[in-house]
Amino acid sequence: MRRDWLIEARLRAGYTQGQFSKATGLTQPQVCQYENGAPISTRNAQRIAALLDIPWTRFYEENKP
């Protein structure tokens, strides 16, 4: 299930996938995979959430709009 909320949050923050991957220390393919619904580790969820100022637990609440 695609994480549209994550894509929207990244774009609102002004990041391309490439810029976002550098800012989080993740690879661009990882960012793409996470945006497309791939399972994510707690550590990486926390990295992304900290940069986007969202709760990291949002990754585990997939049915929320």
Per the CB < 8 A criterion, the answer to whether 31 and 17 are in contact is: yes
Quote the tokens at residue 21.
């991957």
Average pLDDT along the chain: 94
64 has a pLDDT exceeding 70: no
Mean pLDDT for the stretch of residues 1-22: 96
Is there a contact between 41 and 56 (Cβ–Cβ < 8 Å)?
no
- Yes or no: domain 4-60 corresponds to CATH 1.10.260.40: yes
Q: 18 — phi, psi (to 5°)?
A: -65, -45
All structural domains of the chain with their residue ranges: 4-60
| CA atoms in the 13 A half-sphere facing the CB of 20 | 26
Confidence band of 31 (pLDDT split at 50, 70, 90): very high
